Amino acid sequence: MRCTERPDNFESQRKQLEAMSDEELHALFWDLAEKIVDPLIEEARTHTTPSIERSVLLRMGFSSIEAAGLVAQMGERQLLERGAGRLVFELAQAKDITLREAGCGLLDGRYWEELQA
């Protein structure tokens, strides 16, 4: 594969930026940074993986074995896209129990009907 030389546009870009104040340059930088990052943020909002969901559960205090079990069971029930941590959290709130009690209850086979509703 041959690399082609990119035309040098430094001088033309420099002329456009030369007349801008520091404030305008700062605003332009952040505008361009947002344009780059926005698609990544949207992707993160709409897509997840079992690995990400296990990581969330680990940070909620579950062991790696418990997190793996919860993620596997949620995956089998087509619930993973709603977020494992979110489901455990919402269940705990609805039942007025701790996060741990909610997660362990799911591992014991309880509460699944409520999550699927």
pLDDT given at position 14: 85
Evaluate if residue 103 carries a pLDDT over 90: yes
**In the predicted structure, residue 12 carries a pLDDT above the cut 90:** no
pLDDT tens profile 22-36: 999 999 999 999 999
pTM confidence score = 0.65
pLDDT at 19: 87
Looking at the predicted structure, is the pLDDT value of residue 2 above 80?
no
d(CA 13, CA 16): 5
Q: What is the pLDDT of residue 78?
A: 93
Question: In 3-116, at which residue ranges do the beta strands (DSSP E only) sit?
Answer: none
Q: What is the CATH architecture of 50-116? A: Orthogonal Bundle (1.10)
Question: Are the beta carbons of 69 and 107 closer than 8 angstroms?
Answer: yes
